[in-house]
Amino acid sequence: MQFPAAQIALLIGGKVDGDPIVSVSSFGKIEEAKKGQLAFLANPKYEEHLYTTQASIIIVNETQELKQAIEATLIRVPDAYTAFATLLSKYQEIVAQQLVGIQEPSYISKTATLGEKIFIGAFAYIGENVCIGNNVKIHPNVYIANNVKIDDNSILHAGVKIYHDCVIGKNVTVHAGTVIGSDGFGFAPQDDGSFKKVPQIGNVVVEDFVEIGANATIDRATIGSTVIKSGAKLDNLIQIAHNVEVGNNTVIAAQAGVSGSTKIGNNVMIGGQAGIVGHLQIADGSRINAQSGVTKSIKTPNAAVTGSPAFEYTNALRSQAVSRKLPEIEKRLKELEALVKQLLEEKV
């Protein structure tokens, strides 16, 4: 498919600087793009490629000044990176709309309800009383257990597993290999040293506009729901335990883990490999640095923490700076002790 500059500018709210009818059919990095491709420039570090790239169309910030003439057509926007992300989303929508129909072999229960313009890939399993909305895309080898609800425009990539009674909202994307609704880690210790399993009879609710990366696991609640609220973004290889709540527009990077019944607020940022123990409250806007171990609730909104155990970010940096000077401090302390000893001896 060919897309002219004028049409692209209309999609992303930009202004064409150059030939409005020049067209592109694919994307490329600005340093590698060829004729017929679209690129973008958001980072000034790559500005030199603006004058050497072969890209036919380049999305740039509206404030971008040219130091020399270029051949490409520019589309000027307030924020080039955001505009490029918007364009890629539109492109994905166009591609997804072409996926329609049910491939064979696949199993679909007679009691399942299917919306319009859906796609179900080969070897998918759709259980009893499943409700699937319009424009949902279910890729090969997806397993959807009984009583699951999946709302409009959601995408489940290959190998996703959704256990019974879970709810997936609108415009949700779940990447390959992720498991939603597996049992929470609940075991009651017994007098003989063994552990008795506590049945997990709740579910998982994933609200609208959530994206979940590949090979993540989100456990069902013991009672009630584990909730991923609207707009949250979860990276690959994340563990969310039973009865956790992840707030609106919260982002969690890869390999992080959240223990049971912790409540994470809105607009929280959690770095990779961070760990949060159970039954904590994480205030809105909190920032948890990568590899931090959070053992206490964060009650102050917009606070930043780091370290293990994690504590206030600025104080943590000061502590790290002091720790690097410990050998020097020890030397000075010994010198002071010797001086004090000498003064005391002279006084006597």
Interval 275-331: pLDDT, tens: 999 999 999 999 999 999 999 999 999 999 998 887 687 877 787 788 888 888 888
- Active-site pick, 157, 164, 242, 279: 242
Out of 3.40.50.280, 3.40.1390.10, 3.40.50.850, 1.20.140.10, which CATH number does the structure's domain 3-97 have? 3.40.1390.10
Instruction: Please spell the DSSP secondary structure of 56-101, one letter per residue.
Output: SEEEEETTPPPSS--SSEEEEES-HHHHHHHHHHHHHHHHHHT--E
Question: What percent of the chain lies above the pLDDT cut of 90?
Answer: 84
pLDDT band, residue 94 (cuts 50/70/90): confident
101-315 is classed in which CATH architecture?
A: 3 Solenoid (2.160)
Domain segments of the chain as ranges:
3-97, 101-315, 323-347
Q: pLDDT category, 348, cuts 50, 70, 90?
A: low
Residue 82 has pLDDT above 80, yes or no: yes
Q: What is the pLDDT of residues 247-277, one digit of tens each?
A: 999 999 999 999 999 999 999 999 999 999 9
How buried is residue 284: exposed, middle or buried, by Cβ count under 10 Å (0-12/13-18/19+)? middle
Report, as an integer, the average pLDDT of 146-166: 98
Alpha-carbon distance of 166 to 154, in angstroms, equals 14
Active site residue 242: yes
Reported confidence tier of residue 234, pLDDT bands at 50, 70, 90: very high
pLDDT at 96 over 80: no
